[in-house]
Amino acid sequence: MKQNELKNAVIIGNGDLGILFNKKINLLNFDYCLVLDSAITNYHLFETKKNPDGLLGDFDRAFDAEIWQKKYNNLEIIHTPDQEKTDFEKGIEFLLSKNITQITGLGLTGKRMDHTFNNISSLAKYNDAVAIELLDEYSKIYCIDQYKSFKKMLAQQTIVSLLPIGKVEGITTKNLAYNLENEDLELGVRTGSSNAVIQTDFVEITITKGKLIIMECKD
């Protein structure tokens, strides 16, 4: 597929996926599959016929990327030694260079909490440039701002949590058990954890200022 035909991509990290969750993901649905560093060692768990398209990382700790280039035909090796950015951030920027408009992140939560926190905050950092969602066995995670609202059909009792990046102003929600009406949330002061959908219908969330992380969760 030519670069100007690429639309959506998946980034696979080395976080916690879950064996059953892996099998639910069809990597054939993505135009470009980018694997971060040593996460390539677990790629076979997806049980997919699609080879990874790219392998990105600093490849430290004596990691030999060329071994995987021999295993997977046409694998693009992207060496990114810059230590000022995370592998996820470098992966996003690499995909932006390919004009990708939608990114799904897998294996970017769980295990080390510092990695999880940084990966979630990266949704806010790149929110203006590309649509990103993070998926794991228990959550779907998005980011919105005053220009990008949230409207999605959700089942009754779906858990929805609202986590502000810093301070978020003018939050209004519809179809949640505890709706907000032009209210503010601020990290360390007030968040919107563990709300719930009232009835199976569209949930709508808008804000007037800031960056808001939205999580659909299940236990």
**Cβ count within 10 A of residue 93:** 16
The domain limits of the chain are: 3-137, 143-217
pLDDT for 202-218, tens place per residue?
Answer: 999 999 999 999 999 99
Mean pLDDT of 172-177: 98
Specify the pLDDT at position 125: 96
Question: pTM surpassing 0.85?
Answer: yes
Q: Tell me what percent of the residues of the chain surpass a pLDDT of 70.
A: 95
pLDDT at 1 over 60: no
- Mean model confidence pLDDT for the chain: 92
pLDDT for 11-61, tens place per residue?
Answer: 999 988 776 566 678 999 999 999 999 999 989 888 889 999 999 998 877
Mean pLDDT of 176-202: 97
Q: Tell me what percent of the residues of the chain surpass a pLDDT of 90.
A: 75
41 vs 62 pLDDT, higher one: 41
pLDDT at 86 over 90: yes
Specify the pLDDT at position 219: 84
Task: Evaluate whether 3-137 and 143-217 have a shared fold.
Answer: no
- Residue 32's φ and ψ, nearest 5 degrees, are -140, 130
Mean pLDDT of 176-182: 98
Specify the pLDDT at position 4: 65
DSSP string, 8-29: EEEEE-SS---HHHHHH--GGG
pLDDT at 136 over 70: yes
pLDDT at 158 over 80: yes
Please list, in sequence order, all residues whose beta carbon lies within 8 angstroms of the beta carbon of residue 71, skipping any fewer than 6 positions away: none
Specify the pLDDT at position 63: 78
Least confident of 45-49, 102-106, 187-191: 45-49
Confidence label for 151 from pLDDT (cuts 50, 70 and 90)? very high
Specify the pLDDT at position 8: 96
Fold of the 143-217 domain: Jelly Rolls (2.60.120)
Reduce the secondary structure of 76-126 to three states and give it as a string.
EEEECCCCCCCHHHHHHHHHHCCCCCEEEEECCCCCCHHHHHHHHHHHHHC
Mean pLDDT of 115-137: 95
Cα separations in angstroms, 122 against 77, 131, 133? 23, 12, 11
Q: Is 3-137 assigned to CATH 3.40.50.620?
A: no
